[in-house]
Amino acid sequence: MGFSDYRTALVTGASSGIGAATVRRLSAEGLEVYAVARDAARLSALSAETGCRPCAVDISDLNALAALAKSAEFDVLVNNAGQSRRGNILDTTAEDVDALIDVNLRAVLHLTRLIVPGMARRDRGHVVNISSIAGHYAFGGGNTVYHATKAGIHSLSQQLRVDLYGTRVRVTEISPARVETEVFGRLLGDLAEAKRRFFDDYDALQPEDIANSIAFAVGSPARMNVAFMEVLPTQQVVGGLNFAQKSRPPAE
């Protein structure tokens, strides 16, 4: 398998960042790409650029997902859409929990159950799940619910390979570290401030780096399944050990 064996792809979170870069990359390989996101204007511009099929869909809408899954026989599914929130479990809200689970995990599970059985029947297909290093490592500054949902994507990817045993449907999990997208700007409510704080002084990954990683996995020969790929900026590490000092009684 590889690009010559695939005709159609569905990419979520396609209006910007990793999703838009992936639409461009897969379109360049000759696939008919269904680009899924809520921003119809951005999707229209992306369609004019790449020839992709724009699908203005809220992926938390199950009926919309079911209709989308019936619109084509998809050979490649890229579960990329994701959200985060500020804060941790000590100050998160019910809305934060529900929104992150709906977008980051529930929608992925639904699209997988709606699309992958067809891949299995045809004995052809590739599922690419975009997780995050947040799903594998605990660190300060991350949103607890986000970490939990991305850990769920990791578990799903592992189990899905077991469920598809005996078929030629491949499953790849790609786990990026810091990528220069709009995510940080949305969290802060200020794209310029996010660029200054998180990117100007750092050599972060670019969305095209992840799109190229996806293309490497999807374009690999049939005998080869790139099961897991952790992609970090060269200057970023995930290790480190912090140890808080014991509290001391106040001096008299």
**Is the Cβ–Cβ distance between 19 and 11 less than 8 Å?**
yes
Share of the chain above pLDDT 90, in %: 76
Tell me how far apart the alpha carbons of residues 219 and 179 are, in angstroms, rounded to a whole number.
22
Q: Residue ranges per domain, the chain?
A: 3-231
Q: What is the pLDDT of residue 194?
A: 79
Asked whether the predicted pLDDT for residue 250 surpasses 80, the reply is no
* Tens of pLDDT, residues 32-72: 999 999 999 999 999 999 999 999 999 999 999 999 999 99
CB 14 within 8 A of CB 22: yes
| Whether residue 146 lies in the annotated active site | yes
CATH number of 3-231: 3.40.50.720
Q: Which of 34, 146, 165, 202 is catalytic?
A: 146
pLDDT averaged over the chain?
A: 93
pLDDT on residue 1: 67
Radius of gyration from C-alpha coordinates of the chain: 19
- Whether the per-residue pLDDT at 107 is higher than 90: the answer is yes
Residue 252: per-residue pLDDT: 63
Q: What is the mean pLDDT of residues 8-29?
A: 97
Spatial distance between the Cα atoms of 146 and 166, rounded to a whole number of angstroms: 33
CA distance 50 to 26: 10
Cβ distance 79 to 11 under 8 Å? no
Task: Say which range, 24-38, 134-148, 180-194, has the weakest mean pLDDT.
Answer: 180-194
pTM: 0.92
Give pLDDT tens digits for 197-240.
Answer: 888 888 899 999 999 999 999 999 999 999 999 999 999 988 87
